[in-house]
Structure 1
Amino acid sequence: MMKILVAIDFSDATPEVAEQAGKLARAMQGEIHLIHVVEPRIAYDVAGIFPEDVVIPKEEVGKSMTIKALSEMRLRQLAEELKDQWGVVVHSKVTDEFDTQEAIETYAEKEGADMIIVGNHSHSFLSSVFLGSVAEEVIRHAKVPVLVVPVKAFDADKQGEGA
């Protein structure tokens, strides 16, 4: 059974990346492993707060969640949607590693992934040079094939067209 690791960042790319993963998993009779990397604790150390301390209000009165708990909930929901839509086995994992690319690679190795799927946002050349890109780093270091799902940048000027 083919194991497909899918890096999820909850951006506008997520639906397209998830759809491609579902199609491929069903066609290959494979299973999907979703991974989301939360900003690491060290990033919050400077501000003196931690991901599990940041409370996100929910719609229900009096309920709140931490960033990591919210991410886990959203990833489980996505896993259920993929399972229901594509009829495949889906696992989910939220981690808080310092290096997103390294977290993806480590999980891929640990789970014996046969392929990694990532979304590639439309970044400018300078943005890619100075900031790098998780997709680019995964491609450079992966020990298994990487499928990059191109995602076009959202164009606010076209939002109202045709509606």
Structure 2
Amino acid sequence: MYSDVLLATDGSECARAATSHAVDLAATYGATLHALYVIETRIGYDSGVVDPATIEDDLRAEGESVLEAVGDESRARDVTLVDRIRKGVPEREIADYVEREGIDIVVVGTRGKSAFKTILLGSTSEALVRDLSVPVVLVSADGETDSDT
């Protein structure tokens, strides 16, 4: 049914719960798990106090750490993993990845790291449910799921 599962992650509590669900899905279907971490570019990092390149480096290091944890969980379940870090607007980068890689289903946390950002810019998970043509499974921090196609 599914040969390519995408986990879109930001390392938040909900994303960690989504990781377990995505690994379970991939293991159940013998699918390849794709894990994508997007460095957000809509936020102005040029404060004059901290070098934007330093912030981007820190975010990239955070992404590498998050993807390493996904790798650990994938290896424990003998799931093939393809991991990527991209830079851009998360919902656009995720949609592009889905199209380019032929993803069958997307697993994402219901909320990211910043509740303020959700209010200000709109939720990435909401945009994915609204815009993607593949099923999207939303996972809350307690591991409860809700899916929409």
Number of the residue aligned with 2:81: 90
Within 2, Cα distance between the matches of 1:121 and 1:114?
A: 22
Within 2, Cα distance between the matches of 1:7 and 1:30?
A: 16
Q: Is the 8 A contact 1:41 1:96 kept in 2?
A: no
Number of the residue aligned with 1:108: 98
Q: How many residues are matched?
A: 137
| Bigger Rg over Cα | 1
Structure 1 residues 24 and 68 mapped into 2: Cα distance closer, same or farther (>3 Å)? Answer: same
1:103-161 CA deviation, whole Å, 9 max, x = no partner?
10001111110111111039xxx986654211100000002111111225xxxxxxxxx
TM-score computed with the length of structure 2 as normaliser: 0.78
TM-score computed with the length of structure 1 as normaliser: 0.72
Structure 1 residues 140 and 49 mapped into 2: Cα distance closer, same or farther (>3 Å)? Answer: same
**Structure 2 counterpart of 1:140, one-letter code:** R
SS of residue matched to 1:96: strand
Number of the residue aligned with 1:49: 51
Structure 1 residues 15 and 128 mapped into 2: Cα distance closer, same or farther (>3 Å)? Answer: closer
Higher RCO (C-alpha 8 Å, min separation 6)? 2
RMSD in angstroms over aligned alpha carbons?
2.7
Q: Is the 8 A contact 2:37 2:67 kept in 1?
A: no
Shift of 1:71: 2.8
Structure 1 residues 128 and 14 mapped into 2: Cα distance closer, same or farther (>3 Å)? Answer: closer
Shift of 1:35: 0.6
Structure 1 residues 12 and 39 mapped into 2: Cα distance closer, same or farther (>3 Å)? Answer: same
Structure 1 residues 44 and 130 mapped into 2: Cα distance closer, same or farther (>3 Å)? Answer: closer
Within 2, Cα distance between the matches of 1:93 and 1:127?
A: 23
Shift of 1:12: 1.1
After TM superposition, list the pairs within 5 Å mapping 1:146-157 onto structure 2.
Answer: 146-151=136-141
SS of residue matched to 1:121: coil
